[in-house]
Every structure is written in structure tokens, then in C-alpha cells.
């Protein structure tokens, strides 16, 4: 749509549809935000309107605030149309090398030049992204908010240090972040500029508000809010700020004067970041389980790579290997200006012995954990699973799958402790899933078989132990999705350990009781006389 045509976004308000936002052409024709749509359209029939999507706008603003991490780690959205960034100690990073290394420049001059370079870079990137932005830098959040929205000209403005009062004086009182009712009351008193509030006695101002409102309490609350906003803008009263995300305690940051374009440079920077981050973890005696690498491109886009480990880790080589596999095919675009590496889910990590043979078991465990980390990074966490015990008397339901990545020893121990009362511990190390049917040629009623055929091989049984009876789960009929409702678990089972003449040992069971239980799936059709004959299955192999 051409930019010279008046366009407004409308949304539902307290009194029907109202103007939520307007472009430059509409504002030039005096289309005001908050005005009713009917009145505005009557005055300007050529106005084009579209429905406002506040939820999507809010999500986009949050994503934009996350992207602005290159300008400061603490940032968040500001109202519905802006965002704030704490750039304390960041401005000098945007100065050219000659400026930062010049001995003639004073520290405060470098700070001002760095802030100017930072804002110029910020507004230029926003412009390339197709966003019209106005930026301001000031000592307080309230002053920056007012200057960014009500300053006269330019894409950005910088308030000199300690001179917020003189810079804010010519701005309208609406710049103090007060509601429209307070603005109207101030204007009725003839107070249209912020500077007019500086020398007024506050007690007299409160009396005037009460007289205009004819109600004591609302007037007192209104003037209290106005004075609070004024004190916050001037820095007389502190204003707490909650950043968008909690700043990680362990963050390594590396910026570049010249954008990185080749993979070798990115990998070298990654190696340095890993070294810095591991140094922080070692000093704190901790390890991380999740590591996030953020790469800020010159074109304003952000690339993020996250890897996880099965145990708390501070191994520089292992962390670097996992991240290099993720960024092997990363597109640097026009170059990378900034890289950060953060450690999350940090937990205490005790020092471990590394060299003696007594630590061989621990070394094997660490090698297995590294293998799980690499496979999970390549294939995905849902493709690398481990088996955990589950409290169920049905053998097929006595185990469950869980992601191998992210399972700490406490959760594994709790799962084993919960399953201890289920079995006596004697179970084959290898189970067949599903159990394979076997043919019994010599069966002893209510006893172990003497001769079986499994996988077309006849096997003569010389020893047997059992039975161990396992009854079906009565609740499976009421909970169809329960693990105990698996096929073939609807009949009573009698399990036997059997041994053939060659010494091989098996774990078999008989499904059903003679002349007492039958199941169409296990024993055939109910009209078939053979349906009353239980069937035998091979379920496990013994070492």
C-alpha cells in the first residue's frame, strides 16, 4: 500500500471501534490515536482502515526486544509501542578502534561518542528492517521515554548527563507517562509543559486538583501520580525495571569491529567463548546442562544454537564440539558482529579425579554421557532414549522410555526406588517384544513343558523352575490406554525358567488356565474346541 495514503488500524475500545495506530499520512490529516472510528471517518472519508492485531504486535515487539540484546543484556518492552535497553557500559564497544585507543579523548567524551554510535547503529538497523524508529538516550527511563516520543527532530536524541530537567522542560506534560485525564486536568490549570511543574508548590498543586475534580481522593491520587512520574523522569525517585529475561550468571560475550564472514573465524571465536565460560564455571565450582550460543548478524537478524548435556558439564572441548556440529552449516549472511555464550541450568559440580585407574568407572560413565550428548545433538532428544523401571507387575509394562538427555541421577534413583517392590529382581536381561509363540510337543498339565519347538528348532527341556503366576490387571478394562492393557495381557500367566539339553536357558509362560480362561486373540475362536487350550510364549533369554 502506498505510504502517502492515510491508513489507520482500528480496535475495540470502551466506546466502540477506535483508532489504535495511524501512519504518517493519516497523522498529517489530524487522525489521532484513541479517537472514535465513526467521527474520524466522518471527517476523513478517504481513510483506509484495517483491524489491529494487538497479540501479534506484542509478540513481534517481544522478539524485537530479544534481538536488541546486542545493545545491552537488560531490555524489555516499553508500553505497547516501544522498548527500553540499559546500555550502561556498552557504548564504547561501538566506537572504531582508533577512537577507543586514542589517548587524547577524555573518558566522558568516549562515552558520549559511544552512545551516539550505538544509537546510530540501532536506528540504521531498524531502518533496514523496514521499521521507523525514534531513539533516545538519557539518565533515566522516564526521560528516555519522553524524548523518544516527544523530541522535536531527528531519528535519535541524547540528553547530556545531569541535564534531564533542561531537556524535558519544553516537552508537553503528556510525555510524563500519565493518563489522558491527568493531562486534561493539567491543561485546565494552564500547565502544558513539563518545565512549568518544576517551581510549583506541591501542596498548592494538590489543592487545585481537588478543586477541579470536586472529589478529594481522585484528585490526590492524580497529582501523586503526576509528581511521581516527574520525580522518576528527573532521577529524584528510583524506578525499578524488570528485564525481559533473567540475565544468566554465566555469560561470555565477544564483539567484533569487523564482521566475521568465514567459518574458521566463527569457530575461533567460539573456542574463545567456551574458554571464557568454562573459566567462570570452574571458578564457581559449577557446571551447566544447557548452553545457548547467540550470533548477531550485521543485517539485523539473530541466529541461536542451543545444546544440552546429560550431566552438568564444564568440559571446554566437549561443549565446543557440540556447538561446532550445530554451526557447521550456519549462514553468516553479511557477517557476525556479536557472539554470546550462556550457561543455563547451572548446578554444583565437584572436582573429579582424572588420571588413576581407580577412576576408570567414572571415566566410562563420562564417556557414555558425552556419547549421549552428541547423539542427542545430531538426532534430537526424542530419538535417543533410555529405559527406566516402572512400577507394574506386567513385564511388558515394567519399563518406560525417557529421553536420555536431561535425566539426572536423582530422577533415575527415584524411578528405581519406586519400582523395587514390584519384582523380586529375577528377570531375564533380554526380553522379546512381543513374546514369540512356541509349540509345546510334550506338555505337563499345570506344569512346565518337556519338549518345545521355537523358531523351527526342537528343544528338549531337562530342567525347569516355576511357576510364577502373574494375573491380568483388573483396571485395564476401564483404562484402555494404560500400559497394562497391552495385547496378550488379558489372561493369567504362569512363567517358568527352563533349560534345554545344550545349556541354553529361557523364560516362557503359559497364557490362560486349562478349561477356565480363553481369549480369542490368544486361543482362537470361542467356538473352536482348541480355544480352551492355553498357548505358550517365549518371553526372555537368560545368560
**Rounded Cα distance, 200 and 291, in Å:** 55
- Supply the pLDDT for residue 415: 54
Q: 130 in the Ramachandran plot: left (φ > 0), alpha (ψ -120 to 50) or beta? A: left
User: For 179-199, what is the mean pLDDT?
Assistant: 85
Question: What is the CATH classification number for the domain harbouring 271?
Answer: 3.30.1490.100
450 found inside a domain: yes
More confident residue, 32 or 476: 32
Residues 491 and 415 in one domain: no
Q: Are 85 and 74 in contact (CB under 8 A)?
A: yes
Report whether pLDDT(498) > 80.
yes
278 found inside a domain: yes
93 found inside a domain: no
More confident residue, 541 or 397: 541
Domain count, the chain: 5
Considering just the CA atoms, what is the radius of gyration of the chain in Å?
Answer: 36
Residues 187 and 286 in one domain: no
Residues 243 and 280 in one domain: no
Among residues 323, 306, 334, 307, the alpha carbon closest in space to that of 272 is found at: 323
Q: Are 296 and 336 in contact (CB under 8 A)?
A: yes
Residues 159 and 242 in one domain: yes
Residues 243 and 259 in one domain: no
Residues 150 and 228 in one domain: yes
Q: Are 459 and 500 in contact (CB under 8 A)?
A: yes
DSSP 192-257: -BGGGGTTS-HHHHHHHHHHHHS-HHHHHHHHHHHHHHHHHHHTSS------SSPPPSSEEEEEEE
261 found inside a domain: yes
With vertex at residue 145, the alpha carbon angle to CA 142 and CA 149, rounded to the nearest 5 degrees, is 145
- Supply the pLDDT for residue 103: 40
For residue 455, give Cα distances in angstroms to 356, 412, 438, 452, 538. 48, 37, 8, 10, 10
Residues 145 and 240 in one domain: yes
- Supply the pLDDT for residue 214: 54
- Supply the pLDDT for residue 527: 47
Least confident of 331-345, 357-371, 528-542: 357-371
Least confident of 106-115, 192-201, 428-437: 106-115
DSSP bridge pairs for 22: 8
- Supply the pLDDT for residue 171: 92
81 found inside a domain: no
Phi, psi for residue 508 in degrees, rounded to 5: -120, 160
Q: Give the domain-ending residue among 305, 338, 357.
A: 357
73 found inside a domain: no
- Supply the pLDDT for residue 292: 92
- Supply the pLDDT for residue 454: 93
Q: Give the domain-ending residue among 247, 270, 302.
A: 247
User: For 386-409, what is the mean pLDDT?
Assistant: 75
Residues 436 and 535 in one domain: yes
Among residues 376, 375, 483, the alpha carbon closest in space to that of 433 is found at: 483
Mean pLDDT of the chain, nearest integer: 80
Report whether pLDDT(453) > 90.
yes
Residues 390 and 490 in one domain: no
- Supply the pLDDT for residue 421: 46
135: which residues sit within 8 A by CB, 6+ positions away? 119, 122, 123, 148, 155, 156, 157
More confident residue, 127 or 412: 127
In three-state secondary structure terms, 442 is strand
- Supply the pLDDT for residue 414: 57
Q: Are 219 and 196 in contact (CB under 8 A)?
A: no
Q: What is the pLDDT of residues 207-228, one digit of tens each?
A: 776 666 554 444 556 777 888 8
User: For 290-309, what is the mean pLDDT?
Assistant: 86
b/e map of 445-475 (b: 16 or more CB within 10 Å)? eeebbeebebeeeebebeebebbeebebbee
Q: What is the pLDDT of residues 513-533, one digit of tens each?
A: 876 665 544 434 444 444 457
403 found inside a domain: yes
User: For 259-273, what is the mean pLDDT?
Assistant: 90
- Supply the pLDDT for residue 506: 94
Residues 265 and 206 in one domain: no
User: For 376-388, what is the mean pLDDT?
Assistant: 77
By the 10 Å C-beta count (0-12 exposed, 13-18 middle, 19+ buried), 282 is classed as middle
Residues 324 and 398 in one domain: no
DSSP 131-162: ----EEE-SSHHHHHHHHHH-SSSSEEEPPTT
User: For 323-331, what is the mean pLDDT?
Assistant: 84
Residues 217 and 309 in one domain: no
71 found inside a domain: no
Q: Give the domain-ending residue among 374, 400, 419.
A: 419
Least confident of 171-185, 272-286, 471-485: 471-485
Banded model confidence at residue 239, pLDDT cuts 50, 70, 90: confident
Banded model confidence at residue 477, pLDDT cuts 50, 70, 90: low
Question: Which residue range is the domain that position 398 belongs to?
Answer: 385-419
Amino acid at each position: 500500500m502506498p505510504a502517502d495514503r492515510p491508513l489507520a488500524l482500528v480496535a475495540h475500545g470502551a466506546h466502540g471501534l477506535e483508532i489504535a495506530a495511524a501512519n504518517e499520512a493519516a497523522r498529517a490529516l489530524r487522525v489521532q490515536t484513541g479517537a472514535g472510528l465513526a467521527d474520524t471517518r466522518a471527517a476523513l472519508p478517504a481513510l483506509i482502515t484495517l483491524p489491529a492485531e494487538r497479540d501479534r504486535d506484542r509478540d513481534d515487539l517481544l522478539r524485537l526486544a530479544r534481538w536488541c540484546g546486542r545493545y545491552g543484556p537488560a531490555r524489555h518492552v516499553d508500553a505497547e509501542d516501544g522498548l527500553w535497553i540499559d546500555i550502561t557500559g556498552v557504548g564504547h564497544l561501538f566506537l572504531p578502534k582508533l577512537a577507543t585507543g586514542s589517548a587524547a579523548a577524555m573518558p566522558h567524551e568516549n562515552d558520549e561518542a559511544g552512545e551516539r554510535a550505538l544509537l546510530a547503529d540501532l536506528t540504521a538497523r531498524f531502518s533496514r528492517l523496514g521499521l521507523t524508529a525514534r531513539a533516545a538516550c538519557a539518565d533515566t527511563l522516564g526521560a528516555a521515554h519522553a524524548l523518544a516520543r516527544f523530541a522535536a527532530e531527528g531519528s535519535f536524541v541524547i540528553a547530556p548527563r545531569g541535564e534531564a530537567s533542561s531537556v524535558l522542560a519544553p516537552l508537553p506534560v503528556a510525555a510524563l507517562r500519565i493518563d489522558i485525564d491527568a493531562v486534561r486536568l493539567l491543561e485546565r490549570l494552564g500547565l502544558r509543559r513539563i518545565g512549568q511543574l518544576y517551581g510549583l508548590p506541591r501542596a498548592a498543586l494538590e489543592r487545585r486538583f481537588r478543586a477541579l475534580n470536586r472529589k478529594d481522593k481522585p484528585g490526590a491520587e492524580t497529582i501523586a501520580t503526576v509528581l511521581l512520574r516527574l520525580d522518576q523522569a528527573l532521577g529524584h525517585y528510583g524506578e525499578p525495571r524488570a528485564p525481559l529475561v533473567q540475565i544468566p550468571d554465566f555469560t561470555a560475550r565477544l564483539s567484533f569491529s569487523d564482521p566475521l564472514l568465514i567459518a574458521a573465524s566463527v569457530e575461533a571465536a567460539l573456542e574463545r567463548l567456551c574458554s571464557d565460560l568454562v573459566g567462570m564455571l570452574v571458578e564457581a565450582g559449577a557446571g551447566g546442562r544447557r548452553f545457548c550460543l547467540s550470533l548477531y548478524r550485521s543485517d539485523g537478524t539473530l541466529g541461536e544454537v542451543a545444546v544440552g548435556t546429560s550431566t552438568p558439564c564444564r568440559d571446554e572441548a566437549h561443549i565446543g564440539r557440540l556447538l561446532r556440529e550445530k554451526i557447521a552449516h550456519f549462514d553468516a549472511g553479511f557477517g557476525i558482529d556479536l557472539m554470546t555464550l550462556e550457561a543455563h541450568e547451572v548446578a554444583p559440580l565437584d572436582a573429579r579425579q582424572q588420571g588413576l585407574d581407580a577412576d576408570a568407572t567414572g571415566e566410562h560413565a563420562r564417556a557414555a554421557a558425552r556419547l549421549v550428548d552428541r547423539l542427542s545433538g545430531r538426532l534430537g532428544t526424542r530419538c535417543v532414549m533410555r529405559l527406566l523401571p516402572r512400577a507394574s507387575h506386567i513385564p511388558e509394562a515394567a519399563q518406560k522410555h525417557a529421553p536420555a538427555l536431561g535425566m539426572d541421577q536423582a530422577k533415575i534413583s527415584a524411578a528405581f526406588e519406586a519400582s523395587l517392590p514390584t519384582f523380586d529382581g529375577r528377570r531375564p536381561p533380554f526380553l522379546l517384544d512381543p513374546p514369540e509363540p512356541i509349540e509345546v510337543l510334550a506338555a505337563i498339565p499345570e506344569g512346565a513343558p518337556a519338549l518345545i519347538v521355537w523358531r523351527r528348532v526342537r528343544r528338549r527341556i531337562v530342567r525347569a523352575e516355576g511357576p510364577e503366576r502373574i494375573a491380568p490387571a483388573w483396571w485395564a478394562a476401564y483404562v484402555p490406554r494404560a500400559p497394562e492393557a497391552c495385547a496378550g495381557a488379558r489372561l493369567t500367566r504362569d512363567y517358568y525358567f527352563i533349560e534345554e539339553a545344550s545349556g541354553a536357558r529361557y523364560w516362557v509362560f503359559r497364557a490362560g488356565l486349562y478349561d477356565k480362561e480363553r481369549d480369542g486373540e490368544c486361543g482362537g475362536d470361542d467356538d473352536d474346541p482348541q480355544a480352551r487350550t492355553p498357548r505358550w510364549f517365549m518371553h526372555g533369554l537368560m545368560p
